[in-house]
Amino acid sequence: MSSRNYNGTLRRDYNGKFLPIEVNDYELVENDFIMPHHRNEIEIHYIIDGTCDYYIDGKKQSAETGDIVYLKSDTVNSMYKSCEKLKYRAFVFLPGFLYTENVGCTTEKYFRPLKQGDSEVTCVITSEDAAYPELIAQLNRVKEFMDKQEELYELEVKIAMLSYFLTLFKTGHVTKRNNREKSKYKSENAICNAIDYINQNYNRSLTVDEIAENVGISSSHFMKLFREYTHTTCISYINKCRLTKAVELLETTRFNILDVATAVGYNNISLFNRDFKKIYGTTPKEVRKNARIEEKLNRSRKLTL
């Protein structure tokens, strides 16, 4: 089980560029959550234990133990646990793992509509769904092949993943979006671009007007859309982004706490400490201390091998 990641957007390190898929188990405990973000990858989550709420393109989707959750590429989503500890398995892969752009009828007929937002996949599939046994069987096959990595496993993984999507299509879990839903694509794209802009500029002074201008919409409309798709305000998101980066620096560098606060865009150390405690329920000093303890434990484990 992967270690906790405070308020993180999980980092992806694929086995190699020729096999752009990753399968890992994660835990969210205490004040952990996955803040609003978007990626180029498709994500499929299997809830191993616990309950949580997803916000996917502005819609709340609840999931519990055993459920399968689909997150399409280039969509705004976030994840909040609603239990003491949440365990889930993430299957993450680039769309190109399934199909090649501009090649073949399968791309044009099945996968391009998904990528462009003309079609959509059921977000949450429960164990009561008729398609569930086949879907979970294919996910288990992918996990097994990735773990063992025996001869021809790359082909086996791709076949199992394509079989998963074949089941989705056969059982009616891929549907065409109506015109109203299609019209939201431009808004989705604007918020994705705004999130990218914030993540590139979080360490300096940012205003709502600047971000709205960058994505090409009015400030008032932008604020409305941002809250709709992320369920938080733009200013709150900027601060959470800064604090996420702060945790990364606290855990991976020797910068003192004042330098960390400054590096992520905070000019007031008291405000930094107060916001940090409010979000994480602990202090920057405690996070640094725990990171050093974990580092020492890892060194000790290596020495005993």
Instruction: Convert the pLDDT of each residue in 36-46 to its tens digit.
Output: 888 889 999 99
35-49, 94-108, 228-242, 274-288: which has the minimum mean pLDDT? 94-108
Q: Note the pLDDT tens digit of each residue in 213-270.
A: 999 999 999 999 999 888 889 999 999 999 999 999 999 898 999 999 999 999 999 9
244 contacts 236 by C-beta, under 8 angstroms: no
Write out the two tokens for 300.
Answer: 């000790």
Mean pLDDT of the chain, nearest integer:
86
Give the predicted TM-score (pTM) of the model. Answer: 0.81
For residue 121, what pLDDT is reported?
94
> Quick one: average pLDDT of 181-204?
85
Sheet arrangement for strand 124-125: 21-29, 85-93, 42-49, 68-71, 124-125
Q: Which two tokens stand for residue 181?
A: 């839903």
Backbone angles phi, psi at 34, to 5 degrees: -100, 110
Q: What pLDDT score was predicted for residue 2?
A: 38
Residue, of 302 and 119, whose pLDDT is higher:
119
d(CA 286, CA 137): 42
pLDDT of 115 above 50: yes
